[in-house]
Structure 1
Amino acid sequence: MSEEIERDVMTCGVCIVGAGPSGMSAAIKLVQMINAHNEAIDNGSKQGTRIDEESLGVDVPVIVIEKGGMVGAHSISGAVMNPVALAELFPNYKEEAPLEYEADIDEVVQLTAAGARKLPITPPTMINHGNYIVSLGKVIQWMGEKFSELEQDVYATFCGQEILYEGSKVIGVRCGDKGVNPDGTPKSNFEAGMDLHAKVTILCEGSRGSMTKQLIKKLNLQNINPMVYATGCKEVWEVPEGRMEGRKVIHTMGFPLDNKTFGGGFVYHMKNNMVSVGMITALDAADPQMDPHKNFCKFKQHPFIKQILEGGKMLSYGAKTLPEGGWNTVPKMAGDGFMICGDAAGLVNTPKLKGIHYAMKSGILAAENAFDMLVSGDFSASSFERYIQAVTDSFIGQELIPFKNFRPLMKKGIFPMGLVKGGINYFTKGKYPWVNMKLHEDHTEIKTMAEYYPGGKPEDDIKYDNKELIYDKLTDVYNSGATHEEKQPCHLKVDTAKCKECYEKFGSPCEAFCPAQVYNIVRDEKTGAFERIQVDFSNCVHCKTCDIRDPFQAINWVCPEGGGGPMYNNL
């Protein structure tokens, strides 16, 4: 239907897709620079031409679109934020931004099934003095307010559906249609998504961005390694007074993960007797029944974590994927007509568990490059590619390049040899190992049920109480605020021809790896044999785990009708 209907076209100087940390930083920096430039032109302190609709020949100089119902609704992270990039945008951020606490006490704890041992020395990468515990959603909402003070608006509920091209040149994006029936026919309130034609398109979609994924494949932008990911599940709790003090940042390794699965847990102290608690599990785990949400629940049951949460109240839940492969998985970040920022570009420092300030800085650098192009009128491919060098020369490249082999070094587990190798990697500033180590797409690492469970899968002993400590997926989805218009096409495009084979070989891993119980296998009541897959897309929290880990790559996550998805609070 999308090719048969007439669409409105809006022309713009710069189109920014996504209002997360990279998108809002790009938007704010760009408008700040345009305003300063125009003011200097107007008062005669600078020679040149104003940047506006008339000089650019467009409907609007800058537009920001966001698939969430409001700015910050889909923003989720741990999070302990390095403030260096935020300070560039707002020198008075300490007085204005909604920060929780400046991190004061770091603890790294190794968990066993029943015990906990604090490491005597905190690894240098895990020292957080000078960083701030934050709710990313609150920070992004605040940045949206600061953007409004610049007399600019974010077009919330507008999702980018596909990239528009002229040959291999990106010329903008097409927004998703609204008011479409499940069978694809228009409803009475149908509204065709507009085409946004832009001189510059900045993709800030976050982890496994649906359009960025298309772009990387179409233009062959992949680095020497593909992107690899982990899924993090997180809750915010209100705990009894005095239970968590000292502006503490706790990271854990070990239980509930086996020694060959990469990941770990965290607990961060927040204001008003709240804590942020979460568990991250790598998506290259060999176990076909690997369940990030179940790992999170087991993590909370551990005595070390239970003593913090017991007697408290769970307030909100969320889940997301994060790119963790490092510099050698970062795709070519710019080309003719486009730049890619933040998590969409894989700019995450895995050993430091940091990515927010890279997202913000990459957005700032993209804005600076876009501004230079608007001033000069030079929108050649080489002008866009200046952004790649800017990122490489910035603290992003300086910090990520030495750790380019960190994730491959962890392939055989964190403790003890992973820590040893990681330490050598750190102290040699990345000189060890002396080659570029290989990574493979996460879904290729999954073993079949017969390979992983030759004696049969053991019974699961976890029991959800749904009121005191551990919550099943549906209860957690409720606490994520996730909603979607039910009568619309399913945004999880499943090749159902693969489902029966996946069930027989891998035990339907989608039921396990999805942290929101979107996928449910309907089985024969008598024999237990596979009948069909049921996709409850309204539960989706937009984490993209399914798009990444499905062993047949038979699930394609595309953007649903704008405004759908989670409504994160304090996450």
Structure 2
Amino acid sequence: MAVNNKLQEVGTVERESMEFDVVIVGAGPAGLSAAIKLMQQARAAATELTVCVVEKGSEVGAHILSGAVFEPRALNELLPDWQAQGAPVTTAVTHDDIYLFKNADNAVKLPSFAVPKTMHNGGNYVVSIANLCRWLAQQAEQLGVEIFPGFAASEVLIEDNTVKGILIGDMGLDKQGQPKDSFIPGMELRAKYTVFAEGCRGHLGKQLIKHFSLDKDKSPQHYAIGFKEIWDVPASKHQAGLVVHSAGWPLSSDTCGGGYLYHAENQQVVVGLIIDLNYSNPHLSPFDEFQRYKHHPVISQYLAGGKRVSYGARAIAKGGLNSLPKMSFNGGLLIGCDAGTLNFAKIKGNHTAMKSGMLAAETLFNALQQGSEGGEDLTAYADALQNSWLYDELYRSRNFGPALHKFGTFWGGAFNTLEQNWFGGKLPFTLKDERQDHAQLKLASEAAQISYPKPDNTLSFDRLSSVYLSNTNHEEEQPCHLKLHDSNIPLQVNLAKYNEPAQRYCPAGVYEIVQDDNNEPKFQINAQNCIHCKTCDIKDPSQNITWVTPEGAGGPNYPNM
């Protein structure tokens, strides 16, 4: 690492800079796997390499949320002795139960042959990805990687159309963006190559895709919102390794998604619901659908007598191969869910994110070993990706999401079962969904109203008590990180046409319509509640909201999600 002691002036703020060979943005599975693989190669070649990982969460894992049933394929390649090294991957899947929920009371358990084989989980593990990332961070640091938690990458440094690094966000600004007494200017982290591994809908990744036209000739990315709660349950209800998936109720036939309940270690179960963000009814509340879901007898039988101990939500990139952008550009790479490498046919993205990071590390190391000074477009990454099992997985699952969107849950599910089980995902045609998720909302006047029951505070709960369990915290005196391009749109357009769906699609109660002093409607943003799910950035029908990073360490502090 080189520290540039000469202060660099950017605008009216003087900033220090630090230089590395590689800077990685995001300490998730993709970013940490890239860092580890880079240093493994450097050690094997007896070469010095400086690698830095920047993480906006207060600690590694604080912003990590995933189901998660984990496929260890990439971990086996990256760290073959992970079991001996004490990786927190210990609860093997023992059994799969898959249901079609017909209504609030009834369900049909599906036989194995009627389920896509990608949904079978033999050889996989129920894990906390947050805890796995904490363990991966330890492995990375032992290899010499520098990890900076609590520092948010706020801007990309682009010079001569080449990425040169990132800018860490300023600390100590008031709500008007003016320096307070505690002001600390952000530092420039410069690198030969910068790797973006921010997770789904990364705000810098979003900018890079637009700036370099990385999604040219690609289907639009598609998203879902995933909810998760952790429950402590009585020993009599706990079956370590049991995996339950469901489709159908509470979602209507024209809304895609499904639920899950996994029996983890320590008498805990994790329960959640995934809802595709192409839903059309603006009255739909994903949060309230999740609360209803827990009342189904198949789910409630495991939660009864238990205690909810954690809550969170996160957007999921599910467009797959059809939506995968070009992942290299001048001076950098886009990896993991920042690009959209999740395999939705498996409902798994952690092993694919890790593999994308490992392939990126191999490409970067080869370039550095050949004496590169950085800055070029590493197109060799695309070749490495296409020759890997990661590409094969994404190719085989390319029709999975579009089939559900085109044909609905039942017939789309039947198509996917046929394609995966009989044709191995290799039918000689490709289905595509070219519609943007945010553009699918009907007018409120044309959509059916939905009446949700009040929470019973036993199985179902309200938003604010849920956000409390996410340990979310933001410095109140800072600029709002939820930017409106036009402050008039929420009332004049979104409220008038769609009954302002931000009130309902946000899982944390950030957006409200309240009455002002003149008894007129007012759009209120409670930015302190934000759990960084990015749903607003995706689903707003007017594309009027842009999520940017708040001060470093702000947001949720998930313990073991």
TM-score range, shorter chain: over 0.9
Q: Compute the displacement of 1:147 (Å).
A: 2.0
Q: Compute the displacement of 1:491 (Å).
A: 0.3
Structure 2: distance between partners of 1:208 and 1:509: 20
SS at match of 1:351: coil
- 1:498-509 to structure 2, matched below 5 A, reads 498-500=489-491, 501-509=493-501
**1:110 aligned onto 2:110:** no
Give the corresponding residue for 2:5: none
Q: Does the 8 A contact of 2:22 with 2:193 survive in 1?
A: yes
CA deviations 1:465-493 (Å, max 9, x no partner) are 33x11111111100011101011000000
Q: Does the 8 A contact of 1:261 with 1:413 survive in 2?
A: no
**1:452 aligned onto 2:441:** no
Q: Compute the displacement of 1:432 (Å).
A: 3.6
**1:7 aligned onto 2:4:** no
Give the corresponding residue for 2:28: 20
Give the corresponding residue for 1:351: 345
**1:534 aligned onto 2:527:** no
Structure 1: distance between partners of 2:490 and 2:409: 36
Give the corresponding residue for 1:193: 186
TM-score normalised by length of structure 1 = 0.92
CA deviations 1:67-93 (Å, max 9, x no partner) are 000011111100011101112222121
Q: Does the 8 A contact of 2:51 with 2:146 survive in 1?
A: no
SS at match of 2:378: helix
Aligned amino acid, residue 312 of structure 2: G
- 1:466-481 to structure 2, matched below 5 A, reads 466=457, 468-481=458-471
Q: Does the 8 A contact of 1:82 with 1:130 survive in 2?
A: yes
Give the corresponding residue for 1:230: 224
Of 374-383 and 536-545, more deviation after overlay is shown by 374-383
TM-score normalised by length of structure 2 = 0.94
Unmatched 5+ stretches in structure 2: 1-8
Give the corresponding residue for 1:439: 434
Q: Does the 8 A contact of 2:89 with 2:127 survive in 1?
A: yes
Give the corresponding residue for 1:206: 199
Give the corresponding residue for 1:125: 118
Of 307-316 and 122-131, more deviation after overlay is shown by 122-131
SS at match of 2:275: strand
**1:511 aligned onto 2:500:** no
Alignment partner for residue 330 of structure 2, among 326, 330, 336? 336
Alignment partner for residue 368 of structure 2, among 363, 374, 380? 374
- 1:397-412 to structure 2, matched below 5 A, reads 397-412=391-406
Distance 1:433 1:252, change over 3 A: farther
Q: Compute the displacement of 1:19 (Å).
A: 0.3
Distance 1:179 1:269, change over 3 A: same
SS at match of 1:224: coil
CA deviations 1:120-155 (Å, max 9, x no partner) are 224311111111110011101111122222243311
Give the corresponding residue for 1:170: 163
Distance 1:211 1:415, change over 3 A: closer
Q: Does the 8 A contact of 2:164 with 2:375 survive in 1?
A: no
The runs of at least 4 consecutive aligned structure 1 residues that moved more than 4 Å come to 379-383, 524-527
Q: Does the 8 A contact of 1:171 with 1:201 survive in 2?
A: yes
Aligned residues: CA RMSD: 1.8
**1:51 aligned onto 2:48:** yes
Q: Does the 8 A contact of 1:69 with 1:156 survive in 2?
A: yes
CA deviations 1:269-291 (Å, max 9, x no partner) are 11111001000000000011222
Q: Does the 8 A contact of 1:242 with 1:273 survive in 2?
A: no
Distance 1:294 1:525, change over 3 A: farther
SS at match of 1:129: coil
SS at match of 1:387: helix
Q: Does the 8 A contact of 2:530 with 2:555 survive in 1?
A: yes
Q: Does the 8 A contact of 2:25 with 2:53 survive in 1?
A: yes
How many residue pairs match? The answer is: 545
Q: Compute the displacement of 1:414 (Å).
A: 4.2
Alignment partner for residue 87 of structure 2, among 93, 97, 103? 97
Q: Does the 8 A contact of 1:253 with 1:264 survive in 2?
A: yes
Aligned amino acid, residue 153 of structure 1: E
Q: Compute the displacement of 1:461 (Å).
A: 3.6
Distance 1:423 1:340, change over 3 A: same
Sequence identity of aligned pairs in percent? Answer: 41
Q: Compute the displacement of 1:189 (Å).
A: 1.4
SS at match of 1:230: strand
Structure 2: distance between partners of 1:112 and 1:264: 12
Structure 1: distance between partners of 2:268 and 2:374: 50
CA deviations 1:316-357 (Å, max 9, x no partner) are 111101111110101101121111111011001111111100
Distance 1:15 1:381, change over 3 A: closer
CA deviations 1:356-379 (Å, max 9, x no partner) are 001111111111111111111235
SS at match of 2:83: helix
Q: Does the 8 A contact of 2:482 with 2:548 survive in 1?
A: yes
Aligned amino acid, residue 513 of structure 1: Y
Of 500-509 and 430-439, more deviation after overlay is shown by 430-439
Aligned amino acid, residue 446 of structure 1: L
SS at match of 2:369: helix
Alignment partner for residue 486 of structure 1, among 476, 484, 495? 476
CA deviations 1:496-549 (Å, max 9, x no partner) are 12011211100110010000111111136997x5x2211111111111000000
CA deviations 1:21-65 (Å, max 9, x no partner) are 001111111112212222xxxxxxxxxxx435xxxxxxxx21110
Give the corresponding residue for 1:81: 70
Give the corresponding residue for 2:6: none
Structure 2: distance between partners of 1:353 and 1:532: 39
SS at match of 1:110: strand
Structure 2: distance between partners of 1:243 and 1:134: 19
